Amino acid sequence: MKPRESTTLSTVAYDADRQLLQLAFRNRTAYHYFDVPAEVYEALMHAPSKGIYFNSSIRGRFAYVRIETDLLS
């Protein structure tokens, strides 16, 4: 996972083969989002505001599961 400059997200990772987007938030919650196209990941990475992009283009649009943050280390 790579740290990102964002007031909302602390880390972002993407597995293109599985279309799996992994997001860890500054509030210490983390999620796996499934079937996320590479274009969505790329747009997130280039968005001026990661939080705004997440809320408008990812949240509520993809199946997800919350993961334990100790699994991220």
**Amino acid 68: pLDDT:** 79
Percent of the chain topping pLDDT 90: 67
- Of residues 21 and 10, more confidently modeled: 21
Quote the CA–CA distance of 41 and 43 in Å, as a whole number. 5
pLDDT band at 1, cuts 50/70/90? low
Residue 70's nearest CA partner among 34, 27, 30, 14 is: 30
Which stretches of the chain are DSSP H helices?
38-46, 50-57
Summary mean pLDDT of the chain = 88
Domain ranges of the chain: 2-72
| pLDDT tens by residue, 13-33 | 999 999 999 999 988 899 999
